[in-house]
Amino acid sequence: MPEVDVNGTRLFYQQSGSGPDVVLVHAVTSNQAVWIFSGLVDALAAEFRVTSYDLRGHGASDRPPTGYTSADMAADLHALHAALGLEPALLVGHSFGGVTGIHTALLHPEMVRGVILSDSFFPGLRAFEPNYGKPNVWTDLRETYNSIGVELGETVDFTRLFQATAELNAGQLAALDERVGPFGRGWLRQLPELAETTCGADAFAEAGLTAEAIASVTCPVVALYDEFSPFLATSDWLEKNLAHCTAEIIPAAKHLAVLENSEAFTAAVLKHLKRLNSTLPHPLTTH
């Protein structure tokens, strides 16, 4: 299994294709399977070298007890980038993966050619986002847990989700299994393991990624926000405050466009990656 040891943590990664480097960064509680199952990796690999990996604590990577802020994740991504000998890369990040991408661009601008965000909401932009912490998928999840007598609260609270799942009895777990279906069961089973980490709280820590810091990012940013996303105020803010930000709406999606509308999401990502790659100096010619 391809893996790399970064900052004392073993990360599981996959690589496909050849060409300019693209790195895919998934969201909290997700894993790199989301990029592969959607067909995105195969679509991009025709023109790019695509690296996907499991964030610490997720998928097949190690699960250390601490170190889950976007600053920690940026440090992991920087170390993974160096360990794999990648060229300066274009990053694609979903939700918290996008926060990690922007944080990496801030801390390590030399390794990031551009960032494509998918429906990200930023702790540092809480003041500008009236729907901060309220993705539609959380509302759905809250209803699912309510059906087994567990209240998760109105706003995303991963710590509560992890702990509540760890404390489910066999009957509640069986009922949830039924609700989430065979594909969701694997996702469900990892949540109690994350309860043993600081991931839940860390994911909502500003960790230095203030509004001012975000506004100072100079690389090109593409803000792909979903048609039914509650975070369109964030998209507007990014477009107005970043030096080079292009915003686009992905139709018929509410937070997980890569799976909810794989075709449109893949087309948009490919279009913007090609545009960024053709307009930015190629990394091989800059040294």
Separation of alpha carbons 112 and 31, rounded Å: 21
Q: Which residues contact 170 (CB under 8 A, 6 or more apart)?
A: none
Tell me if 140 contacts other proteins by CB under 8 A. no
Choose which of 7, 10, 39, 108 interacts with other proteins (CB under 8 A).
Answer: 39
Return the C-alpha torsion angle 46, 40, 76, 188, nearest 10.
-150
10 or 108: CB nearest other proteins: 10
Which window, 75-83, 121-129, 163-171, 181-189, contacts other proteins (CB under 8 A)?
181-189
What single-letter DSSP state applies at residue 54?
Answer: P
Instruction: Indicate the helix (H) or strand (E) that contains 24.
Output: strand 21-25
Q: How far is the CB of 180 from other proteins (least distance, A)?
A: 10
Tell me if 144 contacts other proteins by CB under 8 A. no
Q: How far is the CB of 134 from other proteins (least distance, A)?
A: 25
Q: Which two tokens stand for residue 209?
A: 């990624």
In the three-class reduction of DSSP (H, G, I as helix; E, B as strand; rest coil), residue 114 is classed as strand
Q: Which of residues 188-207 bind other proteins (CB under 8 A)?
A: 189-190
Tell me if 38 contacts other proteins by CB under 8 A. yes
Looking up tokens 């449109």, which residue turns up? 264
Residue 221 contacts residue 243 (beta carbons within 8 Å): no
Choose which of 32, 51, 198, 229 interacts with other proteins (CB under 8 A).
Answer: 32
Tell me if 251 contacts other proteins by CB under 8 A. no
Choose which of 154, 186, 240, 286 interacts with other proteins (CB under 8 A).
Answer: 186
Residue 72 contacts residue 202 (beta carbons within 8 Å): yes
Tell me if 65 contacts other proteins by CB under 8 A. no
What single-letter DSSP state applies at residue 261?
Answer: T
Residues found near other proteins in the complex (CB under 8 A)? 1-2, 12, 14, 16, 31-43, 54, 59-60, 181-183, 185-187, 189-190, 259, 262
